[in-house]
């Protein structure tokens, strides 16, 4: 979490630096770029967020004893013997 806050703080400081004593064209360009980057960051966070409902594909690959089932990973069914 601290790395995320560090990146956000750096991004904010860079924006403050870019908006000080610059022309309107630079401010508009930086503002649009910052908006696009912010939207992409938000999109990545939303898409990678683990809801914790246990309905992910990785949960299907883990056996009841906690071991990883390689057979399902490659689309192979294990034979019941």
Question: Is residue 80, in this structure, part of any structural domain at all?
Answer: no
Q: Which residues contact 62 (CB under 8 A, 6 or more apart)?
A: 68, 69
60 domain residue, yes or no: yes
In a domain, 36, yes or no: yes
Note the pLDDT of residue 41: 83
15 within 8 A of 30, measured Cβ to Cβ: yes
pTM of the model: 0.53
Helix or strand holding residue 80 (H, E): none
| Average pLDDT by stretches of 10, the chain with 81 residues | 83 88 91 92 83 57 63 53 51
- 11, two tokens: 């991004």
Count of domains observed in the chain: 1
Whole-number pLDDT of residue 65: 67
The answer to whether residue 47 sits within a structural domain is yes
Predicted pLDDT of residue 69:
59
65 belongs to a structural domain: yes
CB 63 within 8 A of CB 71: no
Q: Residue 45 has what pLDDT?
A: 81
Quick check: is 31 in a domain?
A: yes
Query: Residue 57: what pLDDT?
Result: 58
33: closest CA among 11, 4, 51, 53?
Answer: 11
Q: Which domain holds residue 25?
A: 2-73
């Amino acid at each position: 979490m601290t790395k995320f806050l560090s990146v956000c703080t750096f991004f904010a400081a860079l924006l403050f630096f870019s908006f000080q004593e610059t022309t309107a064209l630079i401010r508009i360009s930086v503002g649009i770029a910052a908006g696009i980057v912010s939207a992409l960051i938000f999109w990545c966070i939303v898409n990678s967020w683990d809801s914790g409902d246990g309905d992910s594909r990785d949960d299907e690959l883990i056996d009841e004893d906690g071991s990883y089932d390689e057979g399902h990973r490659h689309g192979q069914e294990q034979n019941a013997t």
